[in-house]
Amino acid sequence: MSGIRTTNTLPEIKIRSILHRLGFRFRIHVPALPGKPDIVLPKYRAVILIHGCFWHNHTCPLFKWPATRADFWRTKIERNRRNDQKAVCALKAQRWRVAIVWECALKGTARLDHESIGNLLRKWLKAETEELEISGDWN
C-alpha cells in the first residue's frame, strides 16, 4: 500500500486540468481545512473532493470487496467513509460548499466525457448550491 498515492492522483490531475481550461484558479491540498480537500476554490467558497471508488466504498461496479484480508479491508474502508463524513460536515459547518467527484466519472465504461464534467462543475460553482456529486452514468 505504500505505493498508493494520496495526492496528485490521475483523477485529481484530470479534474484540475478541466477546471484550469475553464479558467478557474484554485489551490490544492490545503492543510488548514478539514480533510485537506483535493481542490479549493476560495473565490467560490467551494471545495472539490476526488474519491477513488475502491478507497471510499462507492456503490458502483468499480468497487468490489477484496477476497483476502476481508476484516482489514472492511475496517480500513469504513474508517475512510467515517473520515469523509466528518470532513464534509466540518467543511459545511465552516460554510464551504462541497463537491465530490467519483473515480467512476473519469474511468470505466460509464465514464462521463470531460466536457460534461466541466459543465457540471462550472454550473455548480456559479450557482449557490451547497453540494454536488458526480459519478459515472451507470443507469
pLDDT one-digit tens code per residue, 58-101? 988 888 898 999 999 999 999 999 999 999 999 999 999 999 99
Question: Domain spans of the chain?
Answer: 1-13+29-53+97-139
Cα distances (Å, whole numbers) of residue 88 to 20, 68, 119, 121: 24, 31, 23, 18
Residue 2: predicted pLDDT: 45
Class (C level, CATH) for 1-13+29-53+97-139? alpha beta
The answer on pLDDT for 14 being more than 60 is yes
User: Mapping DSSP to helix (H, G, I), strand (E, B) and coil, where does residue 95 land?
Assistant: coil
